[in-house]
Amino acid sequence: MNKPEGNCVQSSTMRSAPSIICLVVALLMAVPCARGQEFELDVGELGEMVEAAQDWAKENLDENALQSLPEVDREQVEKFLKQFQEQLKGQYVLDLAALKGAAKAVLPLLDAHEETKPYAAWLRSRLDYFEVAEELRKNQPPPKSAPDKPPQPQPNPSPAAEQKIWKQELSDREWPKAATELVPKLKPIFTAEKVPEQLVWLAEVESGFDSEARSPVGAAGLFQLMPETAKDLGLRRWPRDQRYQVEPSAQAAARYLKRLHSRFGDWPLALAAYNAGEGKVRGLLERNKARSFDAIATQLPAETQMFVPKVEATILRREGVPLAKMGVPQK
Do 215 and 319 fall within a single domain? Answer: yes
Tell me the residue range of the domain where 223 lies. Answer: 179-325
Domain assignment of residue 128, yes or no:
yes
Angle at CA of residue 168, ends 162 and 173, nearest 5°: 125
- Residue 148 is predicted with a pLDDT of 76
pLDDT tens digits in sequence order for the chain, 331 residues long: 443 443 343 334 444 444 444 444 444 444 443 334 444 445 555 555 555 445 544 444 455 678 888 888 999 999 999 999 999 999 999 999 999 999 999 999 999 999 999 999 999 999 999 999 999 999 887 777 777 777 777 889 999 999 999 999 999 999 999 999 999 999 999 999 999 999 999 999 999 999 999 999 999 999 999 999 999 999 998 889 999 999 999 999 999 999 999 999 999 999 999 999 999 999 999 999 999 999 999 999 999 999 999 999 999 999 999 999 999 998 8
Q: Name the 3-class secondary structure at 150.
A: coil
Q: Name the 3-class secondary structure at 220.
A: strand
Residues in the chain: 331
Contact 21, 28 (CB under 8 A): no
Domain assignment of residue 148, yes or no:
no
Domain count, the chain: 3
Do 319 and 184 fall within a single domain? Answer: yes
Do 217 and 166 fall within a single domain? Answer: no
- Residue 140 is predicted with a pLDDT of 81
- Residue 23 is predicted with a pLDDT of 44
Which residues are within 8 A (CB) of 2 and not within 5 positions of it... i.e. 6 or more apart? none
Domain assignment of residue 261, yes or no:
yes
Contact 123, 99 (CB under 8 A): no
Do 115 and 193 fall within a single domain? Answer: no
Do 246 and 209 fall within a single domain? Answer: yes
Do 319 and 205 fall within a single domain? Answer: yes
Domain assignment of residue 91, yes or no:
yes
User: How does DSSP assign 224-279, residue by residue?
Assistant: TB-HHHHHHTT---SSS-GGGSHHHHHHHHHHHHHHHHHHHSSHHHHHHHHHH-HH
- Residue 11 is predicted with a pLDDT of 37
- Residue 72 is predicted with a pLDDT of 81
> What CATH number is attached to the domain comprising 187?
1.10.530.10
* DSSP 8-state class, residue 16: P
Do 158 and 266 fall within a single domain? Answer: no
Do 200 and 77 fall within a single domain? Answer: no
Do 62 and 75 fall within a single domain? Answer: no
Nearest alpha carbon to residue 328 among 278, 257, 275, 249: 257
Domain assignment of residue 188, yes or no:
yes
Domain assignment of residue 96, yes or no:
yes
C-alpha distances in angstroms, 57 versus 27, 40, 44, 185, 237?
16, 25, 20, 32, 12
- Residue 48 is predicted with a pLDDT of 52
Helical H segments across the chain, by residue range:
19-29, 43-64, 71-89, 100-111, 117-124, 127-139, 159-170, 179-192, 202-207, 227-232, 246-264, 267-276, 278-288, 293-296, 302-319
- Residue 239 is predicted with a pLDDT of 87
Do 203 and 303 fall within a single domain? Answer: yes
In this structure, is the dihedral angle defined by the CA atoms of residues 273, 170, 252 and 120, taken in order, positive or negative? negative
- Residue 144 is predicted with a pLDDT of 74
Domain assignment of residue 84, yes or no:
yes
Do 75 and 210 fall within a single domain? Answer: no
Contact 158, 93 (CB under 8 A): no
Do 60 and 73 fall within a single domain? Answer: no
- Residue 28 is predicted with a pLDDT of 42
> In the beta sheet, which residues pair with residue 172?
none
Domain assignment of residue 331, yes or no:
no
